[in-house]
Amino acid sequence: MAIRFDNRVAIVTGAGGGLGRAHALALAARGAKVVVNDFGGALDGTGGAATPAEKVVAEIKAAGGDAIANAASVTDFPAVEMMVAEAWAKWGRIDILVCNAGILRDKTFAKMELADFKAVLDVHLMGAVNCCKAVWEIMRQQNYGRIVLTSSSSGLFGNFGQTNYAAAKMGLVGFMNALGLEGAKYNIHVNCLAPTAATRMTDTLMPAEVLAAMKPEAVSPAVLAMVHDGAPNRAIINAGANSFERTYVALTKGVNIPLSPESPDQVAARWDEISNRSGDLLPENAGGQGRQELTKAGINRSTRG
């Protein structure tokens, strides 16, 4: 059965172009009513205009869909609240939130100003937090919600010259893991997307032939799969060039080393054993690490940590 979003209301941030535009168009094509949010700024976050969002709304309406434009910055919580209120007033519910808005201020850490580090965290991490906070009570009350946060391989695996971007993107994974636990009993599922696509963020980073294969539209199927009724919860899905993968944060079995003056030496000496990935554990929550460690210590009790 084809995934449909009839009578669902979606908010997509950073939807004036690139990935966000592709997500918004894909959701609308399958019946969703869409808030197309885009601050309309430059790649580094400066400036601002409603025009990009309005153009995407025009595309959606021309195809027979229903959408409204919004130019709020995701860093401005009162403006985000107003965006959510407008969607609520028009359609009476909010089912889907896709946090896609982002900026780049790439430099090596040695050359980066702290203001540039903070600006990237404010948009990617706190911007997503602001949007989630603004819709959270609505989703709780309606006992339904689907949220996609946009992470990145830069955060999951690291990328030279992107300490600010990587920190924000990995921070979103932690946010997802905790928020998904809190939302589960309210049927709110929270997932992370780690996309690879040709957008204005990547057009200076990849060769032309690679960019041609990395169409934003090839990523959007992952988003639709993460926001439909049967979506998973607390998953990281990677997507690009029509390929889809999943990233796991796993815990090795490790070793137990009794505390002694030689313990640091033993940790160093047994590093390969500690790093052995056979039998990786995928903890359901943070307590999984503590439970494994206590079990190896011969103590059978649950713990949090």
Helix, strand, coil % over all residues of the chain, rounded to 5: 45, 15, 40
DSSP bridge pairs for 33: 9, 66
Q: Is 186 among the residues known to form the active site?
A: no
Whole-number Å distance between alpha carbons of 303 and 276: 24
- The two tokens of residue 163 are 């300490």
* Tally of CB atoms within 10 A around 148: 28
* Residue of 144, 165, 186, 248 with catalytic role: 165
Single-letter amino acid, residue 197: A
How many distinct helices (H) and strands (E) make up the chain?
A: 12, 8
Residue 137 Cα to chain centre, angstroms: 20
- Give the DSSP per-residue string, 38-69: ---B-TTS-B--SHHHHHHHHHHHHTT-EEEE
Taking the CA of residue 74 as centre, how many other CA atoms within 13 Å lie in the half-sphere pointing to its CB? 34
Whole-number Å distance between alpha carbons of 104 and 123: 10
CA distances from 6 to 43, 93, 95, 219 (A): 33, 13, 11, 21
243-248 long-range contacts, CB within 8 A, separation 24+: 247/156, 247/194, 248/280, 248/282
Q: Which residues are catalytic?
A: 165
